[in-house]
Amino acid sequence: MVLLRKLPGMPGWPAALGLRLPQKFLFLLFLSGLLTLCFGALFLLPDSSRFKRLFLPRRATASSSSSSSSSASSSSASSSSTRDTDLPRSPPAAAEPRHASPAAPRRLREKLRTVARMAGPPAHTAPGSRQQVQGGERRAEPATGVPPARETRAPLRFDYERFRRSLRHPVRGRRPGEDPETRARRMKIKEMMKFAWDNYKQYALGKNELRPLTKNGHIGNMFGGLRGATVVDALDTLYIMELEEEFQEAKKWVEKSFDLNVNGEASLFEVNIRYIGGLLAAYYLTGEEVFKSKALELGEKLLPAFNTPTGIPRGVINLGSGMSWSWGWASAGSSILAEFGTLHLEFLHLSELSGNPVFAEKVMNIRKVLNRVEKPQGLYPNFLSPVTGNWVQHHVSIGGLGDSFYEYLIKSWLMSDKKDSEAKKMYDDALEAIEKHLVKKSAGGLTYIAEWRGGILDHKMGHLACFSGGMIALGAEHAGQERKQHYMDLAAEITNTCHESYARSDTKLGPEAFRFDAGTEAMATRLSERYYILRPEVVESYMYMWRLTHDPKYRQWGWEVVKALEKHCRVEAGFSGIRDVYTTTPTHDNMQQSFFLAETLKYLYLLFCEDDVLSLDDWVFNTEAHPLPVNHTNFKASVQ
Ligand code: DMJ
């Protein structure tokens, strides 16, 4: 209209139509009626939240915008897909919070109701828990992200004492007359932990990792300015090993120096598995409130990463501003399966402890998106667009980029006390597809899991993929009778192959990746794959295989690793990774990874413990080996 009026030589409109005054009046009446109708329709359309946002104050749109969330579909979001593709590391366009809503499919709504029931009405409020950071702006939101339930019962809180009473075994186990050799070996591993901790404390306390050759600390850029990754990763290992003084040192650092008000780009996945996992485990083991409140506060800071059209989080988040990005290296602005698929265990516990279902809602929505998307040959590719919810590339791997997604499916089921049958089914179906398309036997009779690139197999296994022996054994325990032996055999074969990758090296430590082609079996063929960075996956599988079979060879193999670590990785001021496992005089990489204390040493220690220490009946280990309790019972109690 305005344009027409301003055009030179054009009369005003509707004068341009040559209307008289009464006709003009009627025309304007008609026009205003039409406008009113259009305006009203915006509010009645099923997905009117975007328009409502233009007209209503933000606070009022919170629940309605969430109603559109669960219906995010590939088609509706496809137009922004190009932007996401072009600018993988640029801030995303403001997106709606994706909460459960009346529009969510019935199954999801029921699940969320169950989770909300399990969590009870919000009673505990973590610092900042009623605010959600979005795109750098803090705005008020209901803590749950869903309209508050009309609740008249007394509020419930997490009852720590009740939780402890529900455990079936003492956390640190009993010590019935054990054989002296097993005890001596366990004590040796405890000494290694003390050595690793003492050196970290002396040279790098407060930094993320120790550099044991140069005797200083390393900060890196994975944790968005958070410090003390080794402290948080080590807490539960120190506690389990009864290194009391060292545990107190670590706890004191968390109380006095662990600063969450940071402003940097963090990996959502790494912060979750190391920091949130480590803090949650420390809380469940000790009941110390500081661990719980830090975990909840940090959990809140991760929530803005989920503000994408599908609710699939992006991989990188600025912990200060709440802006999130996809990794620059990730195909077409995609999110990584092993990253967004490895949040479930921790996020359910954040909801359990806070009484705030928002965390559970976020991860249940991820599952919903994954259930909806078509799987090529039943397989889960590693790259998914957070904008469209479609796969971006058909690369499938049970090693890096895919690994812990599968682990979290079976562990979600176990952690739910075997009630989450959806997770179990997803795991069973995924494993069946993996076995059908990826599991192979070498000419020399070694079973391995290849990688899949759009139907073409890459006959390679990464060190990371070696966790799968333990996972398959853990799942086999609970498979139907006829499948159980089959999966236990598969788990044993894979664990054996991973052991071969160690046994065939000069150092008796395994390479980062090993191959089965051109006459090679279980050895690295490329220079760039010959390093060992103190990774845990092989000993992790030994630990599960030992617990589930009690075949002494697994303890024997674990002890070989202890000796190799002592010989090749122990240096004057800690433990270091090595650059080449195929030489007896390897050079060191000058890095004591935090997962060495969280995982490698913990799994080795547990291998030489009785089964009731962190019993598999009571605990599941997150992917960084932090124990989280099985939900045997409802831990909530009324607060009078
Ligand atoms: C750990 O941080 C976790 O186990 C993760 O799932 C994968 N890799 C490292 C250790 O290798």
Q: What is the pLDDT of residues 179-205, one digit of tens each?
A: 999 999 999 999 999 999 999 999 999
Question: Ligand 1 pocket, 624 CB below 6 A?
Answer: yes
Burial 157-167 (b: 16+ CB within 10 A, else e): bbbbeebeebb
Model pLDDT for residues 252-292, shown as the tens digit of each residue: 999 999 999 999 999 999 999 999 999 999 999 999 999 99
Q: Is 595 in the pocket of ligand 1 (CB under 6 A)?
A: yes
521 is catalytic: no
Q: Please give the distance, rounded to the nearest whole angstrom, from the Cα atom of residue 530 to the centre of ligand 1.
A: 18
Beta-strand ranges (E) seen in 435-569 are 439-441, 447-449, 451-453, 456-458, 460-462, 513-515
- C-beta 577 within 6 A of ligand 1: no
Q: Could you report the per-residue pLDDT of 101-130, keeping only the tens digit for each?
A: 333 344 444 444 444 333 333 322 232 232
Pair 269, 243: CB distance under 8 Å: no
368 within ligand 1 shell (Cβ under 6 A): no
- Is the Cβ atom of 404 under 6 angstroms away from ligand 1? yes
- Site to probe by mutation for ligand 1, drawn from 208, 603, 623 as the one with most ligand atoms within 8 Å of Cβ, is 623
pTM across the whole model: 0.79
Rounded CA gap, 209 and 200, in Å?
Answer: 7
| Mean pLDDT for the chain overall | 82
**Residue from 246, 407, 512, 624 carrying the catalytic annotation:** 512
66 in contact with ligand 1, CB cutoff 6 A: no
Distances in Å between the alpha carbon of 132 and those of 93, 101, 180, 300, 427? 17, 18, 54, 7, 33
Q: What are the Cα distances from residue 597, in Å, to 193, 336, 625?
A: 7, 26, 10
Atom of ligand 1 nearest to the CA of 599: 4
Q: What is the pLDDT of residue 100?
A: 31
Contact 353, 295 (CB under 8 A): yes
Query: In angstroms, rounded to a whole number, what is the distance separating the alpha carbons of residues 636 and 56?
Result: 38
CB atoms within 10 A of CB 169: 17
From ligand 1's centre to the CA of 225, what distance in Å?
20
- Residue ranges of E strands in 75-229: 131-134, 137-140, 156-158, 209-211, 216-218
Q: Using CA positions, which residue lies closest to atom 10 of ligand 1? A: 535
Residue pLDDT, tens place only, 464-490: 999 999 999 999 988 888 899 999 999
